[in-house]
Amino acid sequence: MSITRVSIDSDLCVGSGQCAATAPGVFSQDDDGFGLVIPGKEDGSGDPRVSEAARACPSRAISVDED
């Protein structure tokens, strides 16, 4: 399986930082601490930790679509 799209629902994100801590090559945080997908990394960039970051998100704000 390959990841085709990674996104964060900003309405659900609580700013725990688990995404950026788990997969820092794909996720970052804005000035208020809320999660962001790094521009150009929406495909997960082959990082195997993206799915782990989604599971670690306490508010389930991360969506990972796979083929």
Kindly report the pTM of this predicted structure: 0.90
- Domain assignment of residue 67, yes or no: no
- The residue written with tokens 């799209």 in the block is 5
Instruction: Tell me if 62 sits within 8 A of 6, measured CB to CB.
Output: yes
Total domain count for the chain? 1
- Domain assignment of residue 36, yes or no: yes
Nearest residue to 51 (alpha-carbon basis) of 26, 17, 28: 26
DSSP per position, 10-54: TTT-----HHHHH-TTTEEE-TTS-EEEPTT-TTGGG-TTHHHHH
CATH code, 38: 3.30.70.20
> pLDDT per position in the chain (67 positions), as tens?
577 899 999 999 999 999 999 999 999 999 999 999 999 999 998 899 999 999 999 999 999 998 7
Residue type, 16: S
